[in-house]
Amino acid sequence: MTDRAERTPWRLQVIAFVSTLDRFAMPPMLIAMAHGLGVPLSSIINAASGYFLAYGLMQPVWGMVSDHIGLVRTMRIALALAAVSTTAAAFSGNALALGVTRGLAGACFSAAIPASLIYIGDTVPADRRQSQVTRLMAGVALGTGLASAGAGVLAEFTSWRLVFVLTGLTALVLVISLRRLPEPPVVRVHTTVLAPVLAVVRSGPTRLVLALAFLEGMVLLGVLTLLPAAVEAAGTSASVAGIVTAVYGVAVLGFARVVGALAHRTRASRLIALGASAAAAGCGLLTLGRSPGVALAAAGLLGLAWVSMHSSLQTWATEVLPGVRATVVSAFAGALFLGSAVAAKLAGGFAESHRYALIFGWATMLAVVLGLFATLGRVRWIASEGEPSP
């Protein structure tokens, strides 16, 4: 296989960008949306958690769909539906309508990044896979940075509704562009629809990877969801809070090249340990204060955590059970966003009363637990399984 064939298709990076743009646009606008709709902040946080819940629950469904109709076709269908639902969210008149339409958007956008990861898993050899997954993170970084900075500015100076119209139109353009992306040569045929699910349930290492994804969602995505609101609650404007959070995207983009290069000569367990340490340090800083300067440093550390730990866990998900890779990767993403939804739901009341130190304190402890179990789990898996197969 040539280097050209192994390179991450640019359309997959754009898909990651658009999906992330829609997902991270909401956190910088939480307070503006609450004011605009005349509802408590906790109601808008619940709407955000509904997005993450639907995003997580639909992952295995899209994985099974892609097994039967193909990865590219699945992405096109999902993005078309996402374009409609996220645009509809822009016209919501109350918190319930916003929650429903954003939930539908999350359910549809949820097919994007997992399908891209499966595509890489099907077309790139195992020894090159983490570097390609890290390249995919460039799209995630750009989406995160633009959403964090741009959404906050638009919410403050125009309207938060415009953001969802823009992501809807961008998703529609992608549906057309994806017609030129070839389907990977791998075809998965299972005896029954539930066969891959049962294989996942019976695999101890796979269950561990999914549990780690759930914890990671609680820590990283949960903290990122609340970070703009926490900074704004400390007396900063929505646009400044968004720009501070955008540093996370810049950090992801900057560290992606470094971690991609390290992946060729550094054990994944060490990258996981590095990422978990950065996550714990970032959350620990936010426990002490939420000023723009502190938030800038924390966002940078969280960006390093995402690139180093998350890309390693994602790569592990493509390796742990190759025969049902689509189901494992989809379940991994589902567990990640279920963890995020649970974290947002649990933290909503505390955020309403501005008890952010308590929220980030718990996140710090969870990051330490995650790092220990993930690092030791990866070491034990490599010792028992040897080098991963393509």
pLDDT tens, residue by residue, 91-118: 998 989 999 999 999 999 988 877 887 7
pLDDT (0 to 100) of residue 276: 95
pLDDT tens readout for residues 41-74? 888 888 888 888 888 788 778 877 877 788 888 9
Mean pLDDT score of the chain: 84
pLDDT (0 to 100) of residue 1: 38
pLDDT band at 216 (very low <50, low <70, confident <90, very high): very high
pLDDT (0 to 100) of residue 324: 78
Indicate the range of 194-198, 269-273, 295-299 predicted with least confidence.
194-198
86: pLDDT strictly greater than 60: yes
327: pLDDT strictly greater than 50: yes
Domain ranges of the chain: 9-180+193-385
pLDDT (0 to 100) of residue 192: 61
Return the CATH number of 9-180+193-385, one of 3.30.70.360, 1.20.1250.20, 3.30.70.380, 3.30.43.10: 1.20.1250.20
* DSSP single-letter state for residue 181: S
260 or 361: which leads in pLDDT: 361
Show the DSSP H helices in the chain as ranges.
Answer: 3-6, 10-25, 30-37, 41-57, 59-69, 71-89, 95-109, 112-123, 126-157, 160-177, 195-202, 204-216, 222-233, 238-262, 268-288, 292-305, 311-319, 325-352, 356-385
- Cα–Cα distance, 215 to 221 (Å, whole number): 10
Mean per-residue pLDDT for 251-270?
Answer: 80
CA dihedral 344, 164, 256, 211 (to 10 degrees): 30
pLDDT (0 to 100) of residue 208: 95
pLDDT (0 to 100) of residue 279: 96
229: pLDDT strictly greater than 90: no
Query: How large a percentage of the chain has pLDDT more than 90?
Result: 30
pLDDT tens readout for residues 289-307? 888 889 999 999 999 998 8
388: pLDDT strictly greater than 60: no
389: pLDDT strictly greater than 60: no
